[in-house]
A and B are shown apart, each in its own frame.
Chain A
Amino acid sequence: MFVSRKYMRAVTATLAGVAALGFATTADAKVEGDTIILGSAISLTGKYSTNGIHAQRGYDFAVDRINEMGGVKVRGKSYKFKIVYYDDESTPARGAQLAERLISQDGVQYMLGPYSSGLTKAIAPVTEKYKIPMVEAEGASRSLFTQGYKYIFAVLSTSEQYLASSIALAAEQAEAQGKKASDVTIAMAFENDPFSLDVRAGVVADAKKFGMKIIIDDKLPRDLSDMTGTLTKVKALKPDLLVVSGHSKGAATAARQLAEMRITTPMVAMTHCEAAKIIEKFGASTDGLLCPTQWAETLSYRDDMFGSAADYDKAFKAVYPDYKNVPYQTAQATAAVMVWKDAFERANTFDKEMLRDALADTDMRTFYGNIKFSEAGNNIAKPMVLRQIQNGKFNVVAPTKWASAKVEFPRKPMF
């Protein structure tokens, strides 16, 4: 008993010492010498790891470029960026824990977002609590911007815009063929998760606007691997437009079964085409499918740091040669770091409150698109673009302003 008590005392003393050391370094960890420390908990392992790593590379690519080009100028002095990462293992609870650790233990005052809406949702309450501004690039869910959060800024378009543009396109095509937009019938298949339900809400709102009729409204389960039931209904009811959202598994399942079941719906739009690699896997049968994206390298956006979207694409591939396509997850992560640089230089201070205000006033042009935040913190200056698979390639077809090809309607898949 005596021994153990002595042992306990030793342990307590050591712990206290470690804690004291920890606090000692906290004081000005946000800016060390000539380095500004940004923090991010991101999915490097677990189910989101692929996209988490895409995002991390986007962050790193931006930091390297900014540091190379003279860094961030604050009060006449040049500072370099550095990012502290922790692996959140793709689990929200861990993400929140790590955000807490970044802020209260490592003293990080400026945050970059994690990957996915779910993780962002888990971290946002923590950054709000400590009043730490966070620029995030990978959480698109509408619900992030309805909570009254003040310290979250997102460079990407929110999820309800993902497939809404396909409704407008369907209306356009109907009118071009001499029909009324309100004659268009829609079949919907959405996974029952926050992201896809947001996408669905956007589709429903736009369909209502045009007076279109939704004739199939199926929810897909989380562990979806078969949607023949929904597709049989599509075959029976013959809608004009089919919209599907269920992450990669939804895209892969839909693309395969559309071909297997010879579904000839004239217009089909779905999310996550690229992530599911449907062109590589299912070839010519995917021709004509419409896929929304946050960003594409063919868009004519540009800035002084990276040049045009195409230049960014080229530069990134030079550093990471194993990328055939640069995913938009990477591009928007880069844009988030650019937003931080811009805010630091305009605010000309390290005070986080003043930085928050500077972030809120952001109005910039980047290779990723224009960035301007609403009151709620989402980017309202950049539209979603819709691409169509044409001869095994993604071509931007809507909105017309950015289109690089004409939409093929009705689609002519080769089964």
Chain B
Amino acid sequence: MLDNIQVLIVAPVFAVDLLLQGLFIGAIFALAAYGLALVWGVMNVKNLCQGDFVIMGGYIAFTMSWFDIHPIIALPVAFVLMFAFGWIVYLLIIKRVVDRDMFTSLLATFGLSLLIQQVLQLIFGPEVQTTDAGFDSIVLADSMIILPWARIISLILASVLALGIIVFMKYSRMGRAIRATAQDPRAARVLGVDTNLVYAFTYALNAAICGAAGVLVAMIWVIQPYYGIVHSIRAFVIVTAAGLGNLPGVIAAGFGLGIAEKYADFVFGAEFAVAAVVSMLIIVLVYRQLQLYRLRQVVR
């Protein structure tokens, strides 16, 4: 462990490399987390099949690669298909649990997660899959820093998508309706917002965002029917750390998690990367509790 830190001190170029790697993956984490924050904040549904939506998006890109369709073209396709899928799932399942207590929605989405895993496995088999975007890498600093184009492009795509969603939420009619419903569903309903439609749209939008993130995951990592849980955990960590209704926070936390994971990977080994990140979450939560505790003292 100390050796590894020493490497970073002696050759800071690797620290830069890790930082960039972290930014690249952080962008994808942020996307999936953004969708989760949306569903959680607006509908109060803790969507445990978040990661499985991501993996589904990956398999859409993988399927299209059979027909020699480039993953970048698969991205909008996955977005649209997953939007439709999300809408159907809402009508069939989520609609029935949206007003119930937390455990109902947890159980329902957990069941859905198992179902998606098994169906994906039946269709695609249990092997690890990837799609090759066929991009080269940019070599910098005497090949000490290497920026794979696939990752740069996925960072750009993720940013464009995130920006598009932020603009949509802020300026479109539906975006306003979603925000209104998040604030107070009853008041929104009184003022003529069709909350049922808002819920359906929010859930579908989340699935679509995840699907797009999945295409990027298949492009830079590997996918497998059972890999959803990893992405679910990261999304939950990010949303919990950032807090609900704090969308810029979610994006910042996404990047932060990506970078933290890369450094933890380098220093402690890949085995402890996720553990390190989750420990950080605990520290954040404890710190927040301490702050709240201080506030409580003042009130008293």
Q: Contact residues of A with B, CB < 8 Å? A: 46-50, 90, 189, 192, 218-221, 223-230, 232-233, 235-237, 248-249, 252-253, 256, 260-262, 275-277, 281-282, 415
Contacts and interface: CB of A to CB of B under 8 A. Distances in A.
Interface residues of B, number: 39
Q: Which 9 A-B pairs have the closest CB atoms?
A: A229-B265, A219-B271, A47-B126, A225-B221, A260-B148, A249-B128, A229-B266, A218-B269, A248-B128
A249 B265 CA distance: 17
Contacts of B40: none
B273 A229 contact: yes
Contacts, number: 100
Contact of B127 (A223, A224, A248): A248
B273 A221 contact: yes
Interface of B: 4, 7, 11, 14, 17-18, 21, 25, 121, 125-128, 130, 132, 137, 139, 143-144, 146, 148, 150, 217, 221-222, 224-227, 229-230, 262, 265-266, 269-271, 273-274
Contacts of B274: 221
Contacts of B225: 47
A46 B126 contact: yes
B128 A252 contact: yes
B129 to A, nearest CB: 8
A352 B148 CA distance: 60
Given A226-B25, A227-B270, A232 B14 contact: yes
Contacts of A48: 126
A236 B229 CA distance: 32
B269 A50 contact: no
A359 to B, nearest CB: 32
Most buried by B among A192, A221, A232, A282: A232
Nearest to A249: B128
B55 to A, nearest CB: 11
A219 B221 contact: no
A160 B203 CA distance: 49
Nearest to A280: B132
A233 B7 contact: yes
A123 B127 CA distance: 24
Contact of A220 (B139, B227, B270): B270
B289 to A, nearest CB: 29
A260 B14 contact: no
B4 to A, nearest CB: 7
Given A223-B227, A237-B7, A249-B222, A228 B126 contact: no
Contact of B125 (A49, A189, A192, A276): A49
Contacts of B270: 189, 218-221, 224, 226-227, 229-230
A214 to B, nearest CB: 12
A228 B7 contact: no
Nearest to A226: B221
